[in-house]
């Protein structure tokens, strides 16, 4: 059995405050060895000006965010997905949204950079979102084989692009850190996540931001764990905290044998 855990946060524009929230929530839950813990998108800094992320961006392999998360993973001997945090790029005007998987000894097992930029208009307090103005898009599909299963990494707006998930091949667990807006979350959050779970026949752990943030942005919450059949195994509505479900990864095999979707698929992604 594997304990799949999502941490729902109302992140502030303070790296120290947000890191303390993560540490305190993990301590209160007494995270079990070999659990998979997923943080939300922008967990380390959210609710300030977009360029504020540039000010706290770290060099890969260095910085307080990466040190604290590595130490927490090692302390609880768990797998810890960093949500996203800003990592420096070659451009002084842009950072990349890094989603890093730390292993039970604190080592980096995978490094995914958000591919799809949220450049949209939404009928909410913010109105216009232009993520590409400050964020450099990634280009690599990332999966990693671990003792608890094959894990695929994606972030927030990525969930709307099924080609990305086809390109992952067979995965046991999909992790999706997010900062889904209140308006888009109400309309599409559950439907999109269920679709990904059903089509991939995998477990999904989706950790979302929740509530009204310092800059007035509203996020939807409803962090959850889904089964490969699309069932909701656990969900946290809007309050901050952990939501978890213990699962048997081997349950996927029965579903895949009874309905061999991957074998029947006549289309293949050319995304590399």
Given 42, 99, 156, 202, the catalytic residue: 156
- Catalytic residue flag (residue 202): no
Residue 212 lies in a domain: yes
What is the domain extent for residue 188?
2-259
pLDDT at residue 269, as a whole number: 57
pLDDT tens-digit series, residues 134-149: 999 999 999 999 999 9
Rounded Cα gap, residues 249 and 253, in angstroms: 8
pTM of the predicted model as reported, rounded to 2 decimal places: 0.96
Rounded Cα gap, residues 267 and 205, in angstroms: 26
Residue 268 lies in a domain: no
Residue 9 lies in a domain: yes
Task: Identify the CA nearest to 207 among candidates 83, 28, 66, 73.
Answer: 83
Q: What is the largest CA-CA distance in the chain?
A: 52
- Catalytic residue flag (residue 231): no
pLDDT tens-digit series, residues 18-60: 999 999 999 999 899 999 999 999 999 999 877 789 999 999 9
CATH number reported for the structural domain that contains residue 13 in this entry: 3.60.110.10
pLDDT tens-digit series, residues 148-171: 999 999 999 999 999 999 999 999
Residue 118 lies in a domain: yes
Q: What average pLDDT does range 235-256 have in this prediction? A: 97
- Catalytic residue flag (residue 41): yes
Map tokens 């086809």 to a residue: 166
DSSP code at position 158: G
Residue 20 lies in a domain: yes
Sorting pLDDT into bands at 50, 70 and 90, what band is 272? Answer: very low
Residue 270 lies in a domain: no
Count the domains in the chain: 1
Given 88, 94, 99, 114, the catalytic residue: 114
Residue 184 · residue 220 · CB < 8 Å: yes
Residue 265 lies in a domain: no
| Residue 115, pLDDT above cutoff 80 | yes
Residue 147 lies in a domain: yes
């Amino acid at each position: 059995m594997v304990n799949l855990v999502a941490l729902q946060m109302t992140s502030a524009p303070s790296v120290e405050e947000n890191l303390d929230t993560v540490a305190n929530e993990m301590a209160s839950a007494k995270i079990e060895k070999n659990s998979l813990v997923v943080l939300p998108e922008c967990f380390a800094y959210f609710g300030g000006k977009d360029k504020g992320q540039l000010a706290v961006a770290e060099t890969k392999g260095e910085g307080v965010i990466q040190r604290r998360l590595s130490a927490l993973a090692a302390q609880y001997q768990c797998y810890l997905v960093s949500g996203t945090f800003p990592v420096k790029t070659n451009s002084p005007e842009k950072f990349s949204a890094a989603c890093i998987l730390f292993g039970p000894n604190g080592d980096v097992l995978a490094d995914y950079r958000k591919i799809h930029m949220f450049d949209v208009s939404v009928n909410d307090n913010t109105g216009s979102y232009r993520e590409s103005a400050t964020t450099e898009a990634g280009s690599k599909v990332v999966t990693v084989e671990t003792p608890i299963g094959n894990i695929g990494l994606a972030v927030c707006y990525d969930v709307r692009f099924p080609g990305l998930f086809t390109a992952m091949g067979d995965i046991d667990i999909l992790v999706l850190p997010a900062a889904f807006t209140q308006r888009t979350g109400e309309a599409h959050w559950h439907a999109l996540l269920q679709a990904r779970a059903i089509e991939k026949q995998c477990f999904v752990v989706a950790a979302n931001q929740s509530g009204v943030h310092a800059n007035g942005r509203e996020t939807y919450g409803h962090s959850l764990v889904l089964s490969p059949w699309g069932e909701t195994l656990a969900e946290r509505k809007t309050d901050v905290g952990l939501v978890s479900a213990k699962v048997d990864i081997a349950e996927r095999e029965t579903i895949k044998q009874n309905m061999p979707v991957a074998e029947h698929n006549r289309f293949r992604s050319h995304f590399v």
